[in-house]
Structure 1
C-alpha cells in the first residue's frame, strides 16, 4: 500500500520512461530516484529539514513536475503561480510560512523580490538533460541541517491555497497519505498501467495537474510528457510527437481543442488515445458527446477539489458508461448528500460531502472555517464541498451548482449549470457561462456570456429565443453578452462569481 509519495514510485522498473517533454529525451524511474537523492542532499545542505516549507515558482514543464515530486519526498512543497505579482507572492510566502523558494537559475522577478523581503533561502534550479533533470544551487552561504528524517504518511507533502473568490484564501495542507491515496484513486478509476502515457497540459501549481496527471501516472509506473502549458495551436503537434494514451484538461481547453479538431483529422485518426479526462469544472453534456465522437474514445468526466487532494467522483471507463452532465460515481472517498445548513446526511438534493483518506485534515490556522466546513455524522468526519447536487438511481452524481453560485431570482433558485447545458446545445455557441446579474427588484437576474464558434453567427435575441424553447421563462438569460473571450482564472476555469463586475455590468 502506498502511504507516501516515495512509495508511489519505489517499485517501478528503473529503465521505464517516467518524465518527458515535447522535443526532449525521457527521464527513467532510476533517474527520478537519483534526482530525489540529489535534491535531498541539496535541501539539507541549504538547511531545509523534512518539515520545512519550500515554495516552488517555475514555468510549466518537466522540471516543475520533477521538482514537485522530488522535493515532496524530502520536505513540504508549496507550488505557486509564476504569473503572480510581487505583493501576491509576498502574501502567499508569508501566509504559508515558507523557509525557502526554488526558482530558475538567473531568475530575478517578483517572486525573488518577495522572498528577499522575508529573508528566505533561495535555491536556483539549473535544468539539464534528459527532461526533468536539474541541480539545485543555494544562493549565498546556507547553514546545513543535520536532520536526516524523511516525511512519513502523516506529514504535510503539499500546501495549496483555495482560490479565495469570495474571501481570504484558505491554506489547505495535504498529507503524504492524502496525496498517495488520491493518486491511487485516479490510477484505479482510469485503469492506468505502465503502458499508458499522459500528455500534461495542466498548470502544475494546481491540484489537477499535480495529482491526476503527474502523481497518478507515477503511481502506475506510466509516463508523463509535460508540455510548457496549454496551447491549442500546438496541441495536435504534441499528440503526434509524444503519442499519449490520454490527457486531462479543463472544459475550456477541451472546447479549444474541439475548435481545431476538423483541421487535424489525420492526427486524430493516428492517435492512440484510449480516453480523454475532464475535471475542475463541469463539462457541458454536448461537449462531452462531441469530444467522444471526434476522438473515438470515452470522455471521462471527474469531480475534484483541492481539499480532497483532487478526485472525488469519476465517470467509469468501459465497460462502464459515461453520463453526459454527471460527474460520475464515487471514486475514492465516500460521497454523500448533507443538509445545506444542518449537520446531518440526507437523501435527495443537498450539499455534496466527502469522507476518506484523501481528504485534508483541515484548513491551517482557521478554526472558524473548519467548524463551518467539517462535521461528524454516522461515525465519520465529513467535509462540505460547497457544491449542491444529487445522486441518480445508478449512483451517478450530478451537480446543480456551487451553493454560492446558485442564482436567486426573486426567490426562484436557478442552477447556472442547467442553463449552461442548454446554451451549449446551440450550434453557434463554442463556450458559455451563466452568472448572476444584480437586479434592483429581484435581487439577481440571469445573464450569460458566450463565445461563438469560428465562422458562426447568432444574435442575442436568437440565443434567448433558443433558451426560451427549452427552459422555464424565469431561467432564460435576460442578458446575453457575445464576447471574443470569456475571462478565466489562472487554471483556465470559467469563473461565475464576480463575472458581472469583471464585465462592467454592476455600475
Structure 2
C-alpha cells in the first residue's frame, strides 16, 4: 500500500489530466509532479521545509487543490476557512504554531493581518496568464533554509481542527500514511479508475473535499474538475462543462441540486453519472431515493470524520446494494460497537468505534481527550467516534445520531435522525433538522426547524399532527419552526448543537 501523497501520484501516466477548472486548460500528472518540485524549491528558499506548518487560506478552486497536494509533500498543510474573521485567524494560526501563511497575491485581508502580528512568513500565490488549472508560483520576502527532505509516511501531512460547537476545537494531525490509506480506501470502495472525473463542489479547507474528491481521485490516476465553490444555480452548467462521472457532496447540497434538477433534465440526460456520493452528515432515505430516480445512478452514502482522514464506512457501489438510511459497511478500517462509558466492545446499539491505518495517532497536546477517545480492546487501539449506532444482520451500519445530540426528555432518549425521517415523509417538507431545546422540568424538549417545499401552505400544527400519527407522543416536536433556510455551518452541514440559541429558543451560553 502506498503510504505518502508523493507515492500516490507517482505511477500515473504523465500526459493524463489531473486538475481542471472552468475555462482553463488541464494540469497533467507530469505538470503536477513538476509543480511539486517548484513548490519544494520555493518553500525551502523561504525557510520552510519538512515538519514546518503552512497555513493555507485560498478560495475554493484548482489552486487550493494543487496547493494542498504539493505543499503536503514538502511540509505540513493547515487549510483554513477563507471566511474567518481576524480574531479567528489569531486563534487558529497561534494554535497551529504555523510558520508560514499562503494566500493569493494581493490579499491583505484578515488572515494576512493576523499572520503579520504573529511574525509569520507571508507567501503569495500567483497564477500566470493562461496557466493550466492549479498551476501557480510562490513569492515571499522570507528567506532561509528549510529541511529539504521530502515527507515520509510518519510525517504529518495535514492538520485540521475539529468543529468546536461546544468546547475548544481539538487539533487533529493526520500523517502521510493516514491520508494515503484513506485515499486508497475511497478509491477502492468507489472502484475509481483513470477514466473517472470528479466534479468537486466541496470546500477544500474541509476533509471531505481534500480526501474524497482530490486525494482519492489522484490515487486512481483520475481527474478532478474544481468548481469555485458550491452554487446550486451554477451546478448544472458546471456539470455540462466538466463532463464528470461522479460528484460528492453533503446532504444539504444534494437537496439544493434536486430543487433545480427538473429544469436541467437535458443536462442530466446528456451527462450520465456513474454514481453520486454523499457524506459528512446523514443522508435522509427519502433524498437518497429521489437522487437515484433523478440521476438514474447509484447513490453511495459514506460515513466519515476528520479523525479517520474522512471515510470509515460506505454503501457498496453494486446496483441495488445501497441501503437508504444506512451509512454502509466498513470501508477500510475495522468497525465495532463499544459500550458508551466502559472501554469494552459489545453487540447491539452503542458507540461506533474504529481502528485502522487511516485513523489519527491522537489529538495534539490533549492527553485528556486522547484518554477519553481512545482505548485498547481485542489487541487493537480503538477510536470513539461519538456516534451511536448498530449494525444490521447484513453488516450495514445504521446511525442513531451523535451521542451529544441525542435528546434526553425526562429520561426518554430520542434520536433526532429518527424524527427527521418521519417529518421528511410529510409531502410539504423539503428539509428538516430536529434539535433539543432546554426545558425547566424535563431537561430537554424536542423541536424541529423545517423548510417547506415551494408553494406549500402547511403550518406548524399540520406538521405536528402528521408526526403525532406516526410516532410516540414524547418524540413529537413540541415546536416546529418554519424557516426559509436552515442555518448551516461553513461546510454546508446543518448543525443541531447550538441551533436553539441561533433561533432564539434558548439563552446563549
TM-based fold match above 0.5:
yes
Q: How does 1:75-474 map to 2 (within 5 A)?
A: 75-128=75-128, 129-138=131-140, 140-145=141-146, 147-319=147-319, 321-474=321-474
Cα distance in structure 1, aligned partners of 2:456 and 2:27: 45
Cα distance in structure 1, aligned partners of 2:341 and 2:492: 31
Aligned to 1:232, what secondary structure does the other structure show? coil
Q: How does 1:476-495 map to 2 (within 5 A)?
A: 476-495=476-495
Q: How does 1:2-81 map to 2 (within 5 A)?
A: 2-81=2-81
Deviation at 1:22, TM superposition (A): 1.7
Change (3 A) 1:341 1:26: same
Cα distance in structure 1, aligned partners of 2:490 and 2:275: 25
Cα distance in structure 1, aligned partners of 2:378 and 2:53: 36
Structure 2, gaps ≥5 residues long: none
Cα distance in structure 1, aligned partners of 2:168 and 2:37: 37
Deviation at 1:272, TM superposition (A): 2.0
Deviates more, 1:451-460 or 1:117-126: 451-460
Deviation at 1:453, TM superposition (A): 1.4
Cα distance in structure 1, aligned partners of 2:32 and 2:427: 47
Q: Is the contact between residue 12 and residue 29 of structure 2 (CA under 8 Å) also seen in structure 1?
A: yes
Q: Is the contact between residue 272 and residue 295 of structure 2 (CA under 8 Å) also seen in structure 1?
A: no
Aligned to 2:186, what secondary structure does the other structure show? helix
Q: Is the contact between residue 199 and residue 225 of structure 2 (CA under 8 Å) also seen in structure 1?
A: yes
Aligned to 1:93, what secondary structure does the other structure show? helix
Q: Is the contact between residue 374 and residue 384 of structure 2 (CA under 8 Å) also seen in structure 1?
A: yes
Tell me the alpha carbon deviations over residues 121-148 of structure 1, each in whole angstroms, 9 at most, x when there is no partner. 111000131110000001x242233x32
Superposition RMSD in Å: 0.8
Aligned to 2:464, what secondary structure does the other structure show? helix
TM (norm. structure 1) is 0.99
Cα distance in structure 2, aligned partners of 1:67 and 1:384: 32
- Following superposition, which runs of at least 4 residues in structure 1 exceed 4 angstroms of deviation? none
Structure 1, gaps ≥5 residues long: none
Q: Is the contact between residue 259 and residue 453 of structure 1 (CA under 8 Å) also seen in structure 2?
A: no
Tell me the alpha carbon deviations over residues 272-330 of structure 1, each in whole angstroms, 9 at most, x when there is no partner. 21101000000000000000001000110000000000000000011461001100000
Cα distance in structure 2, aligned partners of 1:196 and 1:455: 39
Deviation at 1:457, TM superposition (A): 2.3
Tell me the alpha carbon deviations over residues 80-103 of structure 1, each in whole angstroms, 9 at most, x when there is no partner. 000000110011111011000100
